[in-house]
Chains A and B, each alone.
Chain A
Amino acid sequence: MIGVTASALWGHWRRNPLQLFTLLAGLALATALWSGVQAINAEARASYDAAASTLGEAQFDRLVSRDGQPIAQSTYVALRRAGWLVSPVIEGRLGGVRLIGVDPLTAPSRFAPVGLTDGVDLQEFIVDGGRVIVAPDVQLDGALRDASIAPNTAVADIGVAQNLLGRSGEIDAMIVAPVQPLGQPPLDQIAPELRRQVAQDGSDIGRLTDSFHLNLTAFGLLSFAVGIFIVHGAIGLAFEQRRGTVRTLRALGVPLRLLVVLMGAELMGLAVVAGAIGVGCGYLIAGVLLPDVAATLRGLYGADVTGTLQLRPVWWVTGMAVAIGGTAIASTAALWKLSRMPLLAGAQPRALAVLAGRGALLQAGMSVLLLGVAGVLAVTATGVIAGFALLGALLIGAALALPIVLRGLLGLAERRATGVVVEWFWADTRQQLPGLSLALMALLLAMSANVGVSTMVSSFRLTFVAFLDQRLASELYITADGAAQADAMVAYVTPRVAAVLPIMSTQIQVAGRPTDVFGARDHTTYRENWGFLDALPAAWDAVHLGRSVLINEQLSRGASLRVGDDVTIDGQSLQIAGIYGDYGNPIGQAIIAEPLFQTIFPDITALQFGFRLQQENVAGLVADLQTDLGFSSDALIDQAAIKAISLGIFDRTFTVTAALNVLTLAVAGFAILMSLLTLTAMRVPQLAPAWAMGFTRARLGRLELLRTVMLAVLTGALALPLGLALAWVLLAVVNVAAFGWRLPMYLFPWDYARLGMFAVIAAGLAALWPALRLARTPPSDLLKVFSNER
Chain B
Amino acid sequence: MLLDVRDVQKTFDTSDGPFAVLRGINLHLDGGQSLALTGESGSGKSTLLHLIGGLDVPDHGQIVIDGADIAAMDDTGRATLRRGGVGVVFQQFNLIPSLTIAANIAFQARLAGRYDPAWVDTLANRLGLSAQLGKYPEQISGGQQQRVAIARTLAPRPRLILADEPTGNLDETTAANVMDVLLELVAETGAGLLMVTHSTALAARLGRRLHLRAGCIA
Distance in angstroms between the alpha carbons of A344 and B170 in the assembled complex? 23
**Cα-based distance from A174 to B79 in the complex (angstroms):** 79
Given A8-B107, A343-B56, A254-B79 contact (CB < 8 Å): yes
- Nearest-CB distance from A696 to chain B (Å)? 26
Q: Is A356 an interface residue (CB 8 A)?
A: no
Report A1-39 CB contacts with B as 1/0, cut-off 8 Å: 100110111111011000000000000000000000000
A residues less than 8 Å from B79 (CB atoms): 250, 253-256
Residue picked from B53, B88, B111, most chain A C-beta under 10 Å:
B111
Contact of A14 with B98 at beta-carbon distance under 8 Å, contacts A5-B111, A256-B75 already known: yes
Contact of B169 with A by CB under 8 A: yes
Chain B 92-115 interface mask (CB, 8 Å, partner A; 1/0)? 101111110001000110111100
In the complex, the answer to whether B94 meets A248 with C-beta atoms within 8 Å is yes
B76 within 8 A of A: yes
How many whole Å from A513's CB to the nearest CB in chain B? 66
Do residues B99 and A11 form an inter-chain contact, with CB atoms below 8 A? yes
Evaluate contact between A790 and B99: CB separation under 8 angstroms.
Answer: no
Q: List residues 552-568 of chain A with CB under 8 A from any CB of chain B.
A: none
Q: Are A248 and B55 in contact, CB atoms less than 8 angstroms apart?
A: no
Q: List, in ascending order, chain B residues with CB within 8 A of A244's CB.
A: 94, 97
B78 to chain A, nearest CB (A): 8
> In the complex, are the beta carbons of A251 and B56 less than 8 A apart?
no
- A344 near B50 with CB under 8 A, answer yes
Main DSSP-derived SS at the A contact region: helix
> CB-CB contacts of B46-80 with A at 8 A, as 1s and 0s?
00001001011000000000000000000110011
User: What is the 8 Å Cβ interface bit string for chain A, positions 759-790, against chain B (1 contact, 0 not)?
Assistant: 00000000000000000000000000000101
In the assembled complex, B215 has its CB within 8 A of some CB on chain A: no
- In the complex, which residues of chain A have a beta carbon less than 8 angstroms from the beta carbon of B112? 253
Are B90 and A251 closer than 8 Å at their CB atoms?
A: yes
In the assembled complex, B21 has its CB within 8 A of some CB on chain A? no
Residue-wise, chain A 235-255 has the 8 Å CB interface mask toward B (1 for contact) of 000000000110111111111
Residues of chain A within 8 A of B97, CB atoms compared: 12, 15, 244-245
Complex contacts, A251 vs chain B, CB 8 Å: 53, 55, 82, 88, 90, 94
Given A251-B82, A254-B79, A8:B55 Cβ within 8 A: no
User: Which chain B positions have C-beta within 8 A of A187?
Assistant: none
The answer, among B88, B94, B96, B142, for a CB contact under 8 Å with A11, is B96
Q: How far is the CA of A251 from the CA of B149 in the complex (A)?
A: 13
Task: Establish whether residues A248 and B111, one from each chain, have CB atoms under 8 Å apart when the complex forms.
Answer: no
Task: Flag if B95 contacts A254 (CB, 8 Å).
Answer: no
Q: How many A-B residue pairs have CB under 8 A?
A: 76
Tell me the minimal C-beta distance from A275 to chain B in angstroms. Answer: 25
Query: Are B96's CB and A245's CB within 8 A?
Result: yes
A273 within 8 A of B: no
- A97 interface residue (CB < 8 Å to B): no
Contacts of B98 in A (CB 8 A): 8-12, 14-15, 245
Q: Does B83 contact A (CB under 8 A)?
A: yes
- A347 contacts the other chain (CB 8 A): yes
Q: Considering only CB atoms, which chain A residue lies closest to B84 in the complex?
A: A253
- Residues on A with C-beta less than 8 A from B96 are 8, 11, 245, 248-249
Residue of B nearest to A248 (CB): B94
A337-361 contact mask (Cβ, 8 Å, vs B): 1 or 0: 0000001100100000000000000
Of listed A14, A248, A788, A790, residue having the most chain B CB within 10 A: A248
Instruction: Indicate if B81 sits at the interface (CB-CB under 8 A).
Output: yes
Task: Out of B56, B84, B92, B107, name the residue touching A347 (CB < 8 Å).
Answer: B92
A residues less than 8 Å from B99 (CB atoms): 7-8, 11
Bound Cα distance A255, B54 (Å): 12
The answer, yes or no, to whether B119 is at the interface (CB within 8 Å) is no
A252-B82, A253-B83, A253-B84 as given contacts; A790 in contact with B142, CB under 8 Å: yes
Q: What residues of chain B lie closer than 8 Å to A255, measured between beta carbons? A: 75-76, 79
**Chain B interface residue count: which class?**
20 to 34
Q: A7 CA to B56 CA in the complex, in Å?
A: 26
Identify which of A4, A249, A344 gathers the most chain B CB atoms within 10 Å of its CB.
A4
**Would you list which residues of chain A between 500 and 550 have a CB under 8 Å from chain B?**
none
Given A7-B99, A8-B99, A15-B98: A252 in contact with B107 (beta carbons within 8 A):
yes
Output the least CB separation between B135 and chain A (Å): 12
Interface size class, chain A: 20 to 34
Cβ distance B21 to chain A, nearest Cβ, rounded Å: 13
Q: Which residues of A contact B55 (CB under 8 A)?
A: 251, 343-344
Q: How far is the CA of A249 from the CA of B76 in the complex (A)?
A: 13
What is the distance, in angstroms, from B183's C-beta to the closest C-beta of chain A?
A: 23
Chain B residues contacting A14 (CB-CB under 8 Å) are 98
Whether A344 touches B56, Cβ cut-off 8 Å, given contacts A11-B96, A253-B112, is yes
Residues of B near A5 (CB, < 8 A) are: 111
A252 touches B75 (CB 8 A): no
Q: Inside 8 A of B136's CB, which chain A residues have their CB?
A: 15
A287 CB to nearest chain B CB (Å) = 39
The chain B residue sitting closest to A8, CB to CB, is: B96
Binary per-residue interface labels of chain B (124-152) against chain A in the complex, 1 for a CB within 8 Å, 0 otherwise: 00000000000010000010000000000
Closest to A252 in B: B108
Q: Give A1 to B110 CA distance when docked, in angstroms.
A: 7
In the complex, A335→B105 CA distance in Å?
28
Q: Flag if B80 contacts A253 (CB, 8 Å).
A: yes
Residue of B nearest to A3 (CB): B110
Min Cβ gap A565→B in Å is 70
CB distance from A252 to the nearest CB of B (A): 5
Q: Of A1, A11, A244, A252, which is in contact with the most chain B CB atoms at under 10 Å from its CB? A: A252
Contact of B83 among A8, A245, A252, A790 (CB under 8 A): A252
| A344 proximity list for chain B (CB < 8 A) | 50, 55-56
The reply to whether A1 and B75 contact each other, CB–CB distance below 8 Å, is: no
Contact A252–B111 (Cβ < 8 Å): yes
* Alpha-carbon gap, A344 to B10, bound state (A): 15
The smallest C-beta distance from A247 to any residue of chain B, in angstroms, reads: 7
Among residues of A, the one whose C-beta sits closest to the C-beta of B149 is A248
For A253, the chain B residues whose CB sits under 8 A away are 79-84, 108, 111-112
A244-B92 Cα distance, complex, nearest whole Å: 11
Q: How far is the CA of A12 from the CA of B136 in the complex (A)?
A: 12
Residue from A4, A5, A9, A253 whose CB has the most chain B CB atoms within 10 Å: A253
- The interface residues of chain B lying within 8 Å CB-to-CB of A11 are 96, 98-99, 103
What residues on A are CB-neighbors of B50 within 8 Å?
A: 344
Q: What's the least CB distance linking B146 to chain A, in Å?
A: 11
Kindly state the separation between the CA atoms of A419 and B140 in the bound complex, as whole angstroms: 41
Q: For B108, what are the chain A residues with a Cβ–Cβ distance below 8 Å? A: 252-253
Query: In whole Å, how far is B194's beta carbon from the nearest beta carbon of chain A?
Result: 16
On chain B, the residues within 8 Å of A4 by CB distance are: 107, 110-111
Contacts of A343 in B (CB 8 A): 55-56
Chain B residues contacting A347 (CB-CB under 8 Å) are 92, 94
Most buried by B among A1, A9, A788: A1
Residue of A nearest to B54 (CB): A253
Q: How far is the CA of A594 from the CA of B28 in the complex (A)?
A: 111
Chain A 253-272 against B: per-residue CB contact (8 Å), 1 yes, 0 no? 11110000000000000000
CA distance A423 to B79 in the complex (A): 49
Other than A11-B103, A790-B142, give 9 A-B pairs with Cβ distance below 8 A. A11-B98, A245-B96, A253-B80, A254-B111, A344-B56, A347-B92, A788-B142, A790-B169, A790-B170
- Which 4 interchain pairs have the tightest Cβ spacing? A253-B83, A11-B98, A253-B82, A248-B94
| A–B Cβ pairs within 8 angstroms, 5 of them | A1-B113, A12-B97, A244-B97, A248-B96, A344-B55
